[in-house]
Chain A
């Protein structure tokens, strides 16, 4: 089934074979203010014309370097940031601009797990209140039932239910992240955006959280958008991976295939830049070092955004924006001169 067809056939009822989340031509621009009068002098093109489908039950990994717009995309998809243009569909319904009670209803379907387990929990609340807040907001349970629900959620994320009346500062990063996951699960969502959920954790704790997320996914039939900068983690947890650069998707492919046969030069250099914890492998690896830094998202380069750092760039790349082209098997890349 073609992905683009589903997005357009709105009149047809949504079925489980359609994408759970479908983003088309999404743009999120932030004004850049300058001077005494704070006049808008330009825009950060954080997300700049982006298409992505996420099927129910899968994990889509989203990788890219800082400033590529991956967090902005994640937050816009669950409507924490207002899209500038384009549409976001959830179960076929256009949710790009819904508000009020309608939006609150959507909040029961979607949740988010944050990067920084220290900043994402209110220090003045007890663990029980943090996890209980979504239950209160949506009136899901009261009194004894609420308490039982909180304890159950703590058990589900592998923590002692007794911890409900403790405060976040009493816990380590990994434990706090479990609390954040319990909060996300409290509304019984179907779709969770995981925004770098392990990058702030100690190495020995990261695997615990990855396994927990995987277990929860199979237990509660969750769909994940997993945002990270670490390709090895993303490759481990994702069914498909989307590679972002300066607000656009450069390549999207099933995880194994993206690693085995990257088409976009950016993916290629990203893969070669990830160190592998094995000296024998490292010794034999050939690196494609990229020159320079990421260009400014305020004035992205013409044509292909990656061309300023691309070892394969030619004149044509500056003139035209390469479209996402199919390489079979759900593999797409946006490059005029792809790797073979």
Chain B
């Protein structure tokens, strides 16, 4: 039988592990986190997004103590003001405080973005996982559905939906997600198909595990990295889409401020006050850039093989 000597012989981890200093056991998530932490630009972008998110969440507080204005307070005595002590970032044609409106606008932009990502991820993952795991006719039906969804010209859907519902952050997110989940489902299905081929899935089946266990304990953790990457890269994209919808008047309706409808509003007064155009533009630009950079950092951290 295997004597104690054998145990002693194997009492060392494999090649390449404990080289030099003894490192603790590392999970995939720990390692990814280590890689992410090493990426300074990515971390900076992430912190920026976090700050924006905090500002957005605490917008009422900022109104109260920082700007002392409400986003819809009209003051016809103070129209088109330049940035200064009264209005830190100036005011618009109705004398509304631009900074306040930008802060409240962040609520819409980021809120819609995160909500949309959450919704498309949930639906897309479920559909993609079921389709990929079961295959056969279930896969056929679900994937034809995805094809159909992806074939719908999104812009017409948005117009139609915004006529049917009065868009608020929630309905807008639902509308964008109703098209967005299709590509997530495809992504997840593809990943599931490849993970499903690996022997550990067969091994788990061979011990008598149920489908739910296979999907939740084995498939989900293994597709999670691509989901995280997709989510973080999706945020920037959705902010752009949402701003475009607002700009076209299909999204959040005035007087509720959003970066998109602030731009729409500002285009009539472009020559009176360049700030009105530049500021929401910069807000969108910086947020999208930061989320894309953070998304790339996430991708490099979680999926090192994608990085060349």
Binding site for B on A (CB under 8 A): 75, 78, 80, 103-104, 106-108, 110-112, 114-116, 119-126, 133-134, 137-138, 155-160, 163, 165-167, 170-172, 175, 178, 180, 183, 186-187, 212, 215, 219
Contact = CB atoms under 8 A, between A and B. Distances in A.
Interface stretch (B102-110, B179-187, B206-214, B266-274): B206-214
Contacts of A215: 1-2
B79 to A, nearest CB: 58
Nearest to B2: A158
Contacts of A163: 13
B202 interface: yes
A166 B13 contact: yes
A112 B206 contact: yes
User: Interface extent on B, as a size class?
Assistant: 20 to 34
Nearest to B9: A158
A237 to B, nearest CB: 17
B166 interface: no
B42 to A, nearest CB: 23
Interface string B122-147: 00000000000000000000000000
A167 B25 contact: yes
Given A163-B13, A165-B25, A175-B14, A186 B222 contact: no
B218 to A, nearest CB: 5
B208 A160 contact: no
A134 B10 contact: no
B305 to A, nearest CB: 13
Contact of B202 (A114, A160, A167, A187): A114
Interface in B183-211: 198-200, 202-210
Contacts of B205: 80
21 contacts: A80-B205, A107-B206, A107-B208, A114-B202, A114-B203, A115-B199, A120-B198, A120-B200, A122-B200, A122-B221, A124-B221, A125-B217, A134-B208, A137-B207, A137-B208, A137-B210, A165-B25, A172-B15, A175-B14, A178-B10, A219-B1
A119 B199 contact: yes
Interface in B202-238: 202-210, 213, 217-218, 221-222
B207 A167 contact: no
